């Protein structure tokens, strides 16, 4: 147990109804920390004391990069103290300056999702997620900030995510409607709060921002529709996640698993050592297939590898970021080169260039497949199906012409026609062929998407470096 006399309290850095937070320094180690100071008399009520005991018990068992670390705790005759690592600022302070770009928001939401996944794996629900409780800490010897979930004062052990709670918890502005309206809620209340955080990061205010508490409660009680501002452009993936998080009915709200798997969060490609190794392995295979002149397979591998490289670039700074971006640029160039059957003598990946004698081989590999031709011939009596297939082949041509955005949108239009038709198809042979073609075009669409995201990332990170203001740096 810590002795408060071992610490020197410095300036106050935060306050709430039951606590004041000070920056402090350990007199022996000279290391900085944060100390949450709580007056004992405020916790005389049984439920409040139990709440504090639960908070300390939960903090003691948590160890995760994106959760604030408790170093120690203690008490004296007047106060109770919780000592944690010191962070630099909060998401609330950052948003107050200006809304964040979607690219930055995605980084933070992914970190928050990693923390939330860890909490769910340990049967813990936070119940007070808000920008004030999302701290940011600068990485050592860098200007990169990582997110740290803090303040577990309302947290509870909830083994079953559908297990119902009834005690009023959280802050009204970020509190799920079912807590306010029915006093009956479960772990999915945290997902509503994440939707509010995502909304505020993008638009600079919470969904139900109000002048008075009465106005706020009226909006919550009436389940007032949440409008997404039209003056700030966000991606379809981001908008989809927002709308699914901010469902008033918890049964309609996105599930934890779907949140973790959502395209915007994209935890599969989280920037970590394991995915760095995976990216290198995929690109090594891509280069090997390229050397063997298995160009179609090489193309898909290059595109798959790029989906891991983009988050890795986002999470790095300085020389390492530049080196990763350069590698991604080369892989991207090679993928485009193969896709369009174009020879660029200057393009080299691992000292491997495409010999001019094999251009025809590449062109042949990228021609419409026999699968497409066979399927198209079998659709003479189904005009809608033929139309969908024709749209799909036009998406391929747009890709060859480097019109990637048009190609991706065309693929989406094609698949929106073909997927419903697949479910209705009665002819067994035609259904089998159609299923294969849809799978192939889905793969093509994902590859085009990875090319577009890499192009955008490279342009944006280059611009950030020129402006000496990386999106990972809080100014």
| Average pLDDT for the chain | 85
pLDDT value for 169: 74
Q: What is the rounded radius of gyration, in angstroms, for the C-alpha atoms of the chain?
A: 27
Q: Is 36 annotated as a binding residue?
A: yes
252 vs 90, 192, 194, 223, 225, CA distance in Å?
31, 11, 15, 14, 15
Query: What tokens were used for 46?
Result: 């049984």
Please write the tens of the pLDDT for every residue from 311-326. Answer: 888 777 667 788 888 8
Domain boundaries, the chain: 4-84, 89-266, 271-366, 368-475
* Catalytic site residue from 76, 88, 128, 427: 128
Long-range contacts: 206-215, Cβ < 8 Å, 24+?
206/173, 206/174, 207/246, 208/173, 209/173, 213/172
SS3 52: helix
pLDDT value for 285: 96
pLDDT value for 462: 64
pLDDT value for 159: 65
Query: How many helices (H) and strands (E) are present in the chain, helices listed first?
Result: 16, 10
What would the mean pLDDT of 391-400 be, rounded to a whole number?
A: 84
Write down the pTM of the prediction: 0.77
What would the mean pLDDT of 297-306 be, rounded to a whole number?
A: 92
SS3 103: helix
Please write the tens of the pLDDT for every residue from 126-182. Answer: 999 999 999 999 876 555 688 999 999 888 877 666 556 657 677 899 999 999 888
128 is catalytic: yes
Sign of CA dihedral 209, 211, 217, 220: negative
CATH topology of domain 368-475: Methane Monooxygenase Hydroxylase; Chain G, domain 1 (1.20.58)
SS3 293: coil
Please write the tens of the pLDDT for every residue from 66-97. Answer: 999 999 998 888 889 999 999 999 999 999 99
Number of neighbours of residue 238 by Cβ within 10 angstroms: 20
For residues 30 and 279, give the distance between their C-alpha atoms in angstroms, rounded to a whole number.
41
Pick the CATH number of 271-366 from 3.30.450.40, 1.10.3860.10, 3.40.50.300, 1.20.58.80: 1.20.58.80
Alpha helices in 98-188 (DSSP H): 102-121, 177-182
pLDDT band with cut points at 50, 70 and 90 for residue 40: confident
| Domain 4-84 -> CATH class | alpha beta
333 has a pLDDT exceeding 70: yes
In sequence order, what are the beta bridge partners of 38? 80
Q: Are 293 and 287 in contact (CB under 8 A)?
A: no
CATH number attached to the domain at 89-266: 1.10.510.10
Please write the tens of the pLDDT for every residue from 184-222. Answer: 889 999 999 999 999 999 999 999 999 898 999 999 999
Are 4-84 and 271-366 equal in CATH topology? no
pLDDT, greater one: 11 or 51? 11
């Amino acid at each position: 147990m810590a002795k408060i006399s071992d610490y020197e309290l410095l300036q106050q850095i935060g306050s709430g109804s039951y606590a004041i937070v000070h920056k402090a320094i350990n007199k022996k180690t000279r290391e900085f920390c944060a100390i949450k100071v709580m007056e004992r008399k405020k916790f005389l009520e049984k439920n409040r004391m139990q709440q504090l005991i639960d908070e300390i018990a939960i903090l003691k068992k948590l160890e995760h990069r994106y959760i604030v670390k408790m170093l120690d705790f203690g008490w004296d005759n007047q106060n109770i103290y919780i000592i944690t690592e010191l962070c630099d600022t909060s998401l609330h302070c950052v948003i107050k300056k200006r809304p964040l770009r979607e690219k930055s928001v995605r980084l933070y939401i992914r970190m928050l999702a990693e923390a939330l996944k860890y909490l769910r794996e340990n049967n813990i629900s936070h119940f007070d997620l808000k920008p004030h409780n999302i701290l940011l800490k600068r990485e050592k010897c860098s200007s990169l900030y990582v997110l740290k979930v803090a303040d577990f004062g309302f947290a509870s052990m909830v083994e079953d995510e559908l297990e119902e709670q009834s005690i009023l918890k959280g802050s009204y502005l970020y509190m799920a409607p079912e807590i306010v309206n029915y006093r009956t809620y479960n772990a999915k209340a945290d997902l509503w709060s994440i939707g509010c955080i995502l909304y505020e990061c993008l638009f600079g205010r919470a969904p139900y921002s109000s002048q008075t508490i009465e106005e706020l409660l009226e909006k919550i009680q009436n389940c007032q529709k949440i409008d997404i501002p039209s003056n700030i452009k966000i991606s379809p993936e981001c908008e989809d996640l927002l709308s699914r998080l901010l469902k008033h009915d918890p049964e309609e709200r996105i599930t934890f698993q779907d949140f973790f798997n959502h395209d915007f969060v994209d935890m599969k490609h989280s920037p970590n050592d394991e995915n760095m190794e995976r990216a290198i392995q995929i690109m090594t295979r891509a280069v090997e297939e390229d050397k063997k002149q298995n160009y179609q397979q090489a193309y898909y591998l290059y595109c798959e590898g790029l989906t891991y490289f983009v988050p890795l670039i986002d999470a790095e700074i300085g020389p390492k970021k530049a080196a990763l971006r350069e590698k991604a640029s080369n892989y991207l160039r090679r993928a485009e080169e193969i896709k369009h059957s174009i020879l660029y003598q200057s393009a080299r990946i691992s000292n491997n260039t495409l010999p001019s004698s094999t251009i025809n081989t590449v062109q042949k590999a990228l021609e419409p497949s026999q699968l497409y031709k066979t399927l198209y011939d079998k659709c003479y009596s189904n005009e809608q199906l033929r139309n969908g297939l024709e749209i799909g082949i036009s998406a391929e041509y747009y890709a060859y012409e480097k019109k990637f955005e048009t190609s991706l949108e065309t693929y989406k239009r094609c698949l929106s026609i073909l997927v419903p038709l697949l479910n209705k198809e009665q002819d067994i042979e035609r259904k089998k062929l159609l299923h294969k073609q849809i799978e192939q075009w889905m793969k093509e669409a994902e590859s085009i998407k990875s090319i577009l995201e890499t192009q955008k990332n490279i342009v944006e990170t280059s611009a950030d470096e020129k402006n000496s203001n990386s999106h990972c740096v809080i100014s």
